Amino acid sequence: MTMKPISIVTGGAGFIGSHMVDLLRDQGHRVRVIDDFTGGHEKNLAHRKDDPDLEVARKSILDVAPDDPLFEGVKWVFHFAGIGDIVPSIQAPAEYMNVNVQGTVRILEAARHAGVEKMVYAASSSGFGLAETPTPEDHVIQPQYPYALSKNLGEQACMHWHKVYGLPVNSIRIFNAYGPRVRTTGAYGAVFGVFLKQKLESKPFTVVGDGSQTRDFIFVTDVARAFLAAADTPLSGESWNIGAGKPESINRLVELLGGPVVYIPKRPGEPDCTWADIRKISRDLNWAPTVSFEDGVKIMLDSIEHWRDAPLWDPESIRDATKEWFEYLS
């Protein structure tokens, strides 16, 4: 009998990580999740609670040892775990560096000692900062805030482990991922989480600036497919952008969601446009997005009850949450 391949998903109870778990299970992999549930949610894996080929280790990536038994016999490692909220990184930069950089190093060391066939790191397009668009992979890196810096340093560590130790690792720089299970933490953050809760409560959408800014929204299942392709390739030491390659305005998002709007001040350090040049990943991995923005937003609305317990934000609470952001980045 052929043994099922084993994959690790760090942050597997989180937004993208849980969709990665679903895809790997659909592909016949046994999956080991490493998650301390500070950002992830048990409900993201609830549909797999009786799955005998899913193992969940409730532990921090900072507690992963080089000889961690969870890595024994593992083929692929997908590293999503870390602190994902952007705005609070201004208030807690040391924590972001510790978790997102040192945590990544611990996963790299465990993967290296286990001799895994491939590790794929979840990098962030935020490292590009106020970039020219469309943004290619070789664009200058210019992080504007600690979260972006921490994710870029994690990516640099991955490439260093590839160069020095020969660890087969690739990195995917995610632009604006969205979809079911997108974060609902207490921190002010992802636009979909904010807007969907506001829609549930019949409150106006808090649109930053005039809403004309555009984001390269990419649906989460398309993201998971890209990570699978980045593992199942002979290429190593590569970084790829992932987005839809078709920016959409916040005003267009509001139009699709439907509801009143209130405008709040534009935040310094944030680009007017994010736009992934996806020619490299399309060429190297034969990957292309499949879910249109309109279809993706409809799927989000169909699962809107997921955000019933999310925090409700209004202009006043957002002003308080972003006070230090304006203080340091203005």
Q: How high is the pLDDT of residue 164?
A: 98
- Are 38 and 96 in contact by the 8 Å Cβ rule? The answer is no
Q: Please say if 147 is a catalytic residue.
A: yes
Q: How far is 210 from 111, CA to CA, in rounded Å? A: 46
Q: CA angle, corner 89, sides to 156 and 297, nearest 5?
A: 90
Q: How far is 156 from 124, CA to CA, in rounded Å? A: 12
Q: Per residue in 146-180, pLDDT tens?
A: 999 999 999 999 999 999 999 999 999 999 999 99
Q: What domains lie within the chain, and their CATH numbers?
A: 6-177+217-242 (3.40.50.720), 182-215+246-273+291-324 (3.90.25.10)
Residue 164 pairs with which residues in a beta bridge?
none
Q: Which pTM does this prediction carry? A: 0.97
Q: How far is 198 from 202, CA to CA, in rounded Å? A: 6
- Are 186 and 294 in contact by the 8 Å Cβ rule? The answer is no
Alpha carbons within 13 angstroms on the beta-carbon side of residue 300 total: 32
Q: How high is the pLDDT of residue 137?
A: 98
Q: How high is the pLDDT of residue 1?
A: 60
Q: How high is the pLDDT of residue 184?
A: 72
Q: How high is the pLDDT of residue 25?
A: 98
List the one residue out of 52, 46, 112 whose CA is nearest residue 79: 112
Q: How far is 283 from 298, CA to CA, in rounded Å? A: 30
Which residue among 121, 147, 178, 188 is the active-site one? 147
Low-confidence spans in the chain with pLDDT less than 50: none
Residue-averaged pLDDT of the chain: 96
